Amino acid sequence: MIPHAADTAIDSLGPARIPSPLLRSESGHARTFISDEHQVAIEVNPQRLKTLIEKGSAIAAFEQAGPRRDIYFDPSKLKCALATCGGLCPGLNDIIRAIVLELYYGYGVRNIYGIRYGLQGFIPKYGHEVMDLNPEAVTEILEMGGTILGSSRGPQSIEEIVDALERMNIGILFMIGGDGTLKAASLIADEITARGLHISVVGIPKTIDNDIYLVSRSFGFDSAVAVATQAIISAHNESSGYPNGIGLIKLMGRYSGFIAATAALAQQNVNFVLIPEIDFDLDGPRGFLQALETRLKLRQHAVIVVAEGAGQKFFKNNEVKYDESGNVRLQDIGLFLKAEIGRYFKEHRMEINLKYIDPSYMIRSLPACAKDHVFCSFLGRDAVHAGMAGKTRLLVGYWNEQFVHVPLSASAGKRKQVDPGGKLWQNVIQATGQGLMVNDG
């Protein structure tokens, strides 16, 4: 649901009265600045937007991201901190590098600290040392996977985190992470406000699954799709090289099937795509296994892509367990399907050759692709511009083909999912030829 116009306002620490150092461009080129009046409409359908304008309705919009002419912080006195949290994702080092270089060269900030191993780095009992960040420390990290700062999962004391921010005299905190990190950022901002501190909290949304609400694209997604596509090519070659060959690939996607659906369209040799948003049955006349048998009898091979969160209903009798971040520990749908496919065809006395591929952790820890390199550069630099202007309680996102400021309260705790009636899934259905795999009644 699109938020109301009042829900998109961005908090500020106070008036921005310091002329930006970016005004003093040494290149001789005029710098383009963005004002808070530059807005990006949230409604992405041109016809619906036109109708709203014609009716004189209030248009909900986000602030456009980018450098402001006046800033809040004095760069010569400012100290900044960066933390990467949660699972690994291609592009984390790109974000770190972009933030450090923009702070150092763009604004002249010299005190930039990397917090080691996520939020643990703020808590004294863990004993993690702070990393000094400067251009020399980040110049060569683009082709490194993971994050030079390290990461961790699980909640930490918000009070102790803010204690550490006070001790370090931090002015801007950059938090790079997924939904759990954005929730923590919101709580940290609450504690900062309660103490009357002037610390900006800026989030950079990180999820390889591309499921952050009100963010149309997240970094790492294109890199994940590129590698997943290679896995599909391998699965297709394996399956087509044997009689009744089956290539089964499990991809990321706890609650949203964007990687599975997009990869299937990027390499259209996939016959079945199973994602959390679309229900399916295993057995029965219209179940998945019957559809797979029909496919094999017709073409002698099949490729299946399954998102990790699909088919969790088949494990409903198991005890629900949670990870350190409070996320439900999903049952392994990939291994489950592998076993069920084997069972089914053994019962039907039909020989198959099944190859199972799970590239998930390899994908998460690889360096970003070229497209994500560029995207991360924009995200990191716009995060710096927002923080320097004294803006807080926001994440820098991408919406309606623009980089924007999204209030943490509008996005945290919500999730974006594949629309069964939308263009992405409808194209998957056309490309795979799969039908509804749910039994009547």
Q: Which residues are catalytic?
A: 209
Say how far apart CA 197 and CA 390 lie, in whole Å. 12
Dist CA 351 CA 269 (whole Å): 22
What is the identity of the amino acid at 14?
G
Phi, psi angle pair for 219, to nearest 5°: -70, 150
What whole-number distance in Å separates Cα of residue 103 and Cα of residue 15? 20
Task: Return the DSSP state at 20.
Answer: P
Instruction: Find, among 58, 67, 31, the residue nearest to 405 by Cα.
Output: 67
CA distance 326 to 137: 33
Distance separating the N- and C-terminal Cα atoms of the chain:
31
List phi, psi (to 5°) of 423: -65, -40
Sign of CA dihedral 399, 400, 401, 404: negative
What is the spatial distance between Cα 313 and Cα 332, in angstroms, rounded to a whole number? 12
